Amino acid sequence: MCKYAPLEPKIDHQNIDRNLLYIREAICRFSCYSRPPVPLSNVLMYLKGDYVHYCLPMFNHYFAHLPRPLSLKFVEVVLNAPLSIQKHGLRLAFKSYSAGDLKKLVLSVWKKTKNVSLRLILYKCLFQKILNEEEVSQKELYKALKVLTSELRDDDHNDIFDLILSDQLPKSFRGDYLETAWTLVSKLREKGVNIERQAKVLRNIKTNITLMDRDFLMEYIVKPHIHEMLIEKKIRPSYKSREISERVKTKWELVAKFIVTIENEETSKTSIDLVTSIIKTCAEMWDEVHDERYTIRLFCTNFISSLRANSNAFFQNFKYVNCIFERVLFTILEVLPSQEIYLTIWDLWLVIITRKVCSKMECDENGLFKNIEYDKICDDYANEIGDLIVDLVNKEQFYRSFLPHIAQVVNNHISVFSCAIKECADMVRITICNNLTHFKLPEIYLLVLMLLPTDCPHAYFDTCKDTLQKIKEIDNNEIQSYLYQKFLREDFKRRKFV
């Protein structure tokens, strides 16, 4: 083997003797089958440059067939070879080393190398190794992964950052892992790709928020963001780049998710204090204008919508979440001009009604409602809406000019309610409309007509017919005119339930 060993790593294909090249190639491919094994010092003569490609079969063969002491010796020798060969040695090390030895190796190589390609291999192999190990080894290897994550650079390969966002790690590590990731990306240079990475990590934190430490989120994301935006008054309708705008939007969504993700009275107090502070600060800045737009009015409307949207999936926590929305409603009625946020107030009323009715039901171990008494729960929902409208009419705070918008708000919340009780939205809507007619109030009749579908599904034909029959008996020209306009004059189609 020594006689034919290459002196130069690069193959000069134009001038090299073809027979010599074939001999070298054969040695690279087949020397691993020699018995007794070829000395490792001789093998290393061929592990260089262009010849490495021919040696690839040797790596796995030696690892699989040599006695274990010799196999580990081969891995050790390869790890001390040039960079192009080290990569293959690392892959073998991940197959043969114990968790403790592998942790030491990974940290040692990571500390020494600046090569992006080698760092990627290290990170990916370690990540995959954790997924395939037993719990004890996982914990040992995760310590190394955490160090690697905390020392990533902005020039590291995007595949590493994609792994961070993959949600593949066991849940026991995921919260701490994302804390480490955020601590890292938040300190990277302020440039486009890094800002996008920050936004992606924030979105992943939001997705896994129940696994996160609330104190960490409050201290390192929520409070700093609110201080920057509202106390330092850096909030704007838009920002100088798309990436920054997306990051700000994502942080506000995370703040909203943080506020409504509560499981007990202690966390609800933190959320109540936080949301109250945000709304009161908004009231102080209510007339702020940037780029000819009322910045805070826009933000406040969007933020309350985000609170509602981010609470829709937590059915089992509706009773705790409701106290948040009750405080939001109380605070905005106290500090903001109600005539400027009339529909936002309606949205909050419906949020509270939906969660109040749902909180009466039992949840199973998966957080889904069980033993649902459909007729009773729909009747309760209709009664809550009806009582609200009656109260507003009596106080002269129900504005009929807003009815189409109010109907849309009610419709949206009926969809959430339907999802919570796992029933068809059309069926729930029609049932609630039928129950609402008991109130015999013109404003409610008009709302019912706006909520009812134009074409009633066959399964709910009788309920639709009964609802419209009650309304047709009302001596009110406005209501009758609206009924015939919607169900006849829109397309002159004959509907048997009308």
Three-state DSSP at 363 gives strand
Is the pLDDT at 497 greater than 70? The verdict is no
Across 99-109, average pLDDT: 90
333 and 218 in a common domain: yes
Q: Report how far residue 386's alpha carbon sits from residue 379's, in angstroms, rounded to the nearest whole number.
A: 10
- Cis peptide leading into residue 37 (ω within 30°): no
State both tokens at 246: 């997306």
Cα–Cα distance for residue pair 297/285, rounded to 1 Å = 9
Same domain as 29, residue 16: yes
Residue 255 CA to residue 63 CA, distance in Å, equals: 51
Rounded Cα–Cα distance for residues 134 and 138 (Å): 6
Q: What is the pLDDT of residues 385-399, one digit of tens each?
A: 999 999 999 999 999
Of all helices (H) and strands (E), which one includes residue 477?
Answer: helix 477-484
pLDDT of residue 260: 94
How many structural domains are present in the chain? 4
Residues in the chain, overall count: 498
User: Residue 288: pLDDT above 90?
Assistant: yes
- Please write the tens of the pLDDT for every residue from 19-35: 999 999 999 888 888 88
134, with CB counted inside 10 A (0-12, 13-18, 19+), is exposed
Beta carbons within 8 Å of 330's beta carbon, 6+ residues apart: none
Looking at the structure, tell me whether residues 203 and 257 fall in a common domain: no
Q: Which of 345, 371, 397 is the last residue of a domain?
A: 371
Average pLDDT, stretch 155-160? 96
Mean pLDDT of 415-432: 92
Structural contact between residues 443 and 390, judged by C-beta atoms closer than 8 angstroms: no
Are 223 and 339 in a shared domain?
Answer: yes
Residue 372, class by beta-carbon neighbours within 10 Å (0-12 exposed, 13-18 middle, 19+ buried)? Answer: middle
Structure tokens at 128: 């995959």
Determine how many CB atoms are found less than 10 A away from the CB of residue 114.
8
End of a domain among 371, 394, 424? 371
Same domain, 381 and 466: yes
What's residue 369's pLDDT?
A: 67
- Cα angle, residue 85 at apex, residues 80 and 86 outer, rounded to 5°: 50
Helices (H), 337-436: 342-358, 374-394, 403-420, 425-436
Per residue in 178-235, pLDDT (tens digit) is 999 999 999 999 999 999 999 999 999 999 999 999 999 999 999 999 999 999 999 9
Share of the chain above pLDDT 90, in %: 66
Tell me the three-class secondary structure of 246-288, residue by residue: HHHHHHHHHHHHHHHCCCCHHHHHHHHHHHHHHHHHHHHCCCC
Do the strands 293-294 and 289-290 form a parallel or antiparallel pair, or are they unpaired? antiparallel
Residue 307 has pLDDT above 70, yes or no: yes
Same domain for 240 and 192? Answer: no
Q: Find the domain containing 290 and state its range.
A: 213-371
Judgement on whether residues 345 and 256 belong to the same structural domain of the protein: yes
Mean pLDDT across the chain: 90
What is the structure's pLDDT at 284?
Answer: 96
Q: What is the pLDDT of residue 460?
A: 81
370 SS3 class: strand
Are residues 160 and 80 part of one domain? no
Look up residue 171 and give its two tokens.
């849940």
Do 190 and 108 have their domain in common? Answer: yes
Residues 6+ apart with CB under 8 A from 268: 262, 320, 323, 324
Shared-domain flag, residues 339 and 251 = yes
92 pLDDT more than 90: no
Residues 292 and 391 in one domain: no
CA distance 345 to 334: 12
Distance CA 4, CA 87 (A): 25
Asked if residue 458 and residue 356 are part of one domain, the reply reads no
- Out of 337, 371, 405, pick the residue that ends a domain: 371
